[in-house]
Chains A and B, each alone.
Chain A
Amino acid sequence: QQQVKQSPQSLIVQKGGISIINCAYENTAFDYFPWYQQFPGKGPALLIAIRPDVSEKKEGRFTISFNKSAKQFSLHIMDSQPGDSATYFCAARGGDYKLSFGAGTTVTVRA
């Protein structure tokens, strides 16, 4: 059973547009929520992460929004570029320190 539900499965955005990926979780023991970016033939690379005591975190063009009461968090990619075309995974971790991943979102940025 997937502990973290991620949507959409894929999205296409024009260059300069905003990509939004949503994730939801049930386990209230989760206390760390990272996002990973994966290119074909490569392992996932840590992009940005947030803890539940913060509602928003921004790093460059990437922003995480976190809604603790709704048990939801999302990734916003601003000014999307062709080089952002990749698969993005949300994840969550609790006291057992193992990461539970969403199913992934394939983002395609059209030039």
Chain B
Amino acid sequence: KAGVTQTPRYLIKTRGQQVTLSCSPISGHRSVSWYQQTPGQGLQFLFEYFSETQRNKGNFPGRFSGRQFSNSRSEMNVSTLELGDSALYLCASSLSADQPQHFGDGTRLSIL
């Protein structure tokens, strides 16, 4: 069974631009969560989607948004990029929100 797939693996952007990251969950998984990982703040929860609905959101500014499609694939968008947005963005999927979460290998976003 294929794992969680995140694309692209690496991205370089400049301040002020926007970016869209993609996540394909494990087949059959309907819950998708996003996390930001940085050396200073560690792993922080961004948001969780289930059946195309955002059910939970972490403490991030409105520049961070996401959506989920009917096939459970999810995208995350960050607008007006700032230097501090440089991080590894991880997607995790699970059968449902109360089941174990399995992570992809992330998208490494670098802001110049």
Interface size on B, residues (CB 8 A): 24
Q: Chain A interface: which size bin?
A: 20 to 34
1/0 contact trace for A27-38 toward B, CB 8 Å? 000001010100
Say yes or no for B90: interface residue by CB 8 A criterion: yes
Known A41-B105, A103-B42: A98·B56 in contact at CB below 8 Å: yes
Candidates B31, B55, B56, B103; contact of A44 at CB < 8 Å: B103
CA distance A49 to B94 in the complex (A): 14
Using Cβ atoms and an 8 Å threshold, which residues of chain B touch A34? Answer: 100-101
Q: Is the CB of B4 within 8 A of A97?
A: no
Say yes or no for A43: interface residue by CB 8 A criterion: yes
Candidates A32, A43, A102, A103; contact of B90 at CB < 8 Å: A43
Candidates A32, A97, A102; contact of B56 at CB < 8 Å: A97
Q: Which of A29-69 touch B at CB < 8 Å?
A: 32, 34, 36, 41-46, 49
CA distance A41 to B48 in the complex (A): 23
Say yes or no for A81: interface residue by CB 8 A criterion: no
Candidates B6, B42, B43, B98; contact of A97 at CB < 8 Å: B98
Known A96-B56, A98-B33, A98-B56: A104·B42 in contact at CB below 8 Å: yes
Known A97-B56, A99-B45: A43·B100 in contact at CB below 8 Å: no
Known A99-B45, A101-B43, A103-B42: A46·B102 in contact at CB below 8 Å: yes
Candidates B56, B58, B105; contact of A42 at CB < 8 Å: B105
A36, chain B: closest CB distance, angstroms: 8
Which B residue's beta carbon lies closest to that of A101?
A: B43
Q: Is the CB of B42 within 8 A of A43?
A: no
Q: Which 10 A-B pairs have the closest CB atoms?
A: A43-B103, A97-B97, A101-B43, A98-B45, A43-B105, A44-B103, A103-B42, A43-B106, A43-B104, A98-B56
Other than the known A34-B100, A104-B42, what 10 A-B pairs have Cβ atoms closer than 8 Å?
A: A34-B101, A41-B105, A43-B104, A45-B102, A46-B101, A46-B103, A49-B100, A97-B97, A99-B92, A103-B42
